[in-house]
Amino acid sequence: MPLCRFFAATYDRSIRRAEDAGLRDRRARLLGNLEGDVLEIGAGTGLNLEHYPQGARLVLAEPDPHMRHFLLERLAESGREARVVEAPAEDLPFADQSFDAVVSTLVLCSVESLPAALAEIRRVLRPHGTLLLIEHVRGAGGRAVLQEVVAPVSRLLFSCSPDRRTADAIRAAGFELDDHAFELVGGAPWTKPAIEGVAIRAS
- Mean pLDDT, residues 166-184: 96
Predicted TM-score of the model (pTM): 0.94
Residue-range definition of the domain harbouring residue 36? 2-201
Alpha-carbon gap, residue 5 to 119, rounded angstroms: 29
Find the CATH number of the domain harbouring 62. Answer: 3.40.50.150
Question: Which range scores top for mean pLDDT: 78-82, 94-98, 152-156?
Answer: 94-98
Q: What is the pLDDT of residues 65-84, one digit of tens each?
A: 999 999 999 999 999 999 99
- Mean pLDDT, residues 143-151: 90
List CB contacts of 76: < 8 A, sequence separation 6 or more: none
Residue 22: half-sphere exposure toward Cβ, Cα within 13 Å: 8
For residue 2, is pLDDT > 50? no
Q: What is the pLDDT of residues 14-63, one digit of tens each?
A: 899 999 999 999 999 999 999 999 999 999 999 999 999 999 999 999 99
Judge whether 83 and 94 are in contact, CB under 8 Å: no
Q: What is the pLDDT of residues 127-146, one digit of tens each?
A: 999 999 999 999 999 899 99
Alpha-carbon gap, residue 162 to 194, rounded angstroms: 9
CA distances in angstroms from 76 to 73, 82, 85, listed in the order given: 5, 10, 15
Total of domains in the chain: 1
Helices 65-78 and 2-18: angle between axes, nearest 10 degrees: 50
